[in-house]
Amino acid sequence: MSHESSSKPMYEQIFEALRGQITAGEYGPGERIPSEKELGETYRVSRITSKKALEMLTQEGYIVRQPGRGSFVSEHVGNAGAIPVSMPAGTPKHRRENGKLLIGLVMTDFGDSYGTGLVYGMEEASRQHDSYLILRRSLGVPGNEQEAIQGLLELGVDGLIIFPAQGEYFNAEILKLVISQFPFVLLDRHLKGVSASSISTNNAAAAKHMINYLFELGHTHIALMTSPPQDTTAIEERIEGFIQAHAESGIVVDKGLWMDHITATLPTAFVPENKEKEKENIKQHLREHPEITALFAMEHNIAQLAYEAARESGLRIPEDLSIVCFDSPDYAGGFLFTHMRQKQEEMGRLAFENVLKLRSGHSVPSKILLDAELIEGSSTGPVRRG
């Protein structure tokens, strides 16, 4: 540092040094800058001092701070002018010659119970807006998701719809989209610490409604069945609704009845061998907890495993055991579970339309929650007596 700046507070000197490095291009848009700890070691100051410098950079728009991840160079530099933004590879500046837009979709997977309706809604919206939709599945693997986003950007998509992979951390490609202000919308869940538009079901309210329905049937010993939450907002919110319903009804939540590590239904593990092992786990759980009268499955595939395990254990559905879940395919010959039906087509349509709005420079709500509808099927009945 120069002699002229020695009279300034250290945090201000660090701020000016980092600002100079950013405006000189030593740190480009989206790049991580040194942490509080690293700056403290470099300049031999306390973390309080280095934190103050980073706060100043944030306030003036030079960086974006992400809890648990670090600080990254933003697009703007406050009053000092704009940093030349490197938009993600392949980002077109104008419409294609034929005037049609191409929107990329990255989602974990889709099937009869959930996902197909989302794609249908998006595809219908693309037709209405004379645009096209291109799909890539991640199968719930963060690495696949990152590769898919990169690949679609290289193809020159005009916007993205992302159904994030299950996991504790969002991938760096999503953070780059935020920083570069690329038009994209998150579907089915939101990501903590990320400023991005999202569209999902009001999961907490839906779960609460379904549990209250079971209470009305006399069920008070309800087992929650889910894959590991892993900081996945949709699952966390459904668990929250489950707990809220119990609290408001004065019924104690017995977590000893829960099965919260079901992995056989995850996209990368949904194979016959794993499903059979999971069914054996469910059978054992039901034997160990004969007081259970109802199962709250987080999704249809879990409900289906539980149904098969219960039947193979000699339990009748719904006479001996009731089962509820989110989503259940309604097709001829299939067993229809009592479930919360999500508005998949509307979610898909809104996601597509909001990406187009963002691309046109319009603002959209940061978080849209849609209500789900309770559909009574053949899997629920009054609690067994005696």
Predicted local confidence at residue 3, as pLDDT: 40
- The answer on 175 and 277 residing in a single domain is no
* Domain-located, residue 9: yes
Residue 46 has pLDDT above 80, yes or no: yes
Contact between residue 116 and residue 86 where contact means Cβ atoms under 8 Å apart: no
Distance CA 164, CA 148 (A): 11
- The answer on 159 and 108 residing in a single domain is yes
pLDDT tens column, 334-385: 688 999 999 999 999 999 999 999 998 888 898 999 999 999 999 999 998 6
- The answer on 241 and 186 residing in a single domain is no
Question: Considering all CA atoms of the chain, what is the largest pairwise distance in Å, rounded to the nearest integer?
Answer: 87
Q: In CATH, what number is assigned to the domain containing residue 312?
A: 3.40.50.2300
- The answer on 257 and 211 residing in a single domain is yes
* Domain-located, residue 352: yes
Please state the domain count of the chain.
3
- The answer on 163 and 230 residing in a single domain is no
pLDDT tens column, 250-274: 999 999 999 998 887 776 666 788 8
- The answer on 350 and 316 residing in a single domain is no
* Domain-located, residue 154: yes
Predicted local confidence at residue 7, as pLDDT: 61
Sign of CA dihedral 11, 15, 17, 18: positive
Distance CA 230, CA 133 (A): 30
- The answer on 196 and 107 residing in a single domain is yes
* Domain-located, residue 257: yes
Instruction: With CA atoms as reference, report the closest residue to 349 among 202, 142, 180, 199.
Output: 199
Distance CA 321, CA 323 (A): 7
Distance CA 244, CA 231 (A): 19
- The answer on 294 and 193 residing in a single domain is no
Q: Decide: helix, strand or coil at residue 369.
A: strand
* Domain-located, residue 94: no
* Domain-located, residue 210: yes
- The answer on 152 and 211 residing in a single domain is no
Distance CA 215, CA 221 (A): 9
Predicted local confidence at residue 193, as pLDDT: 66
Residue 211 structural domain: 203-342
- The answer on 288 and 161 residing in a single domain is no
pLDDT tens column, 294-348: 999 999 999 999 999 999 999 999 999 999 999 988 764 568 899 999 999 999 9
Quick one: how far is CA 24 from the chain centroid?
36
Given 3-state DSSP classes, what are the helix, strand and coil percentages for the chain, each rounded to the nearest 5? 40, 15, 45
- The answer on 225 and 195 residing in a single domain is no
- The answer on 292 and 167 residing in a single domain is no
Distance CA 384, CA 320 (A): 6
- Picking from 16, 47, 80, the residue at the C-terminal end of a domain is 80
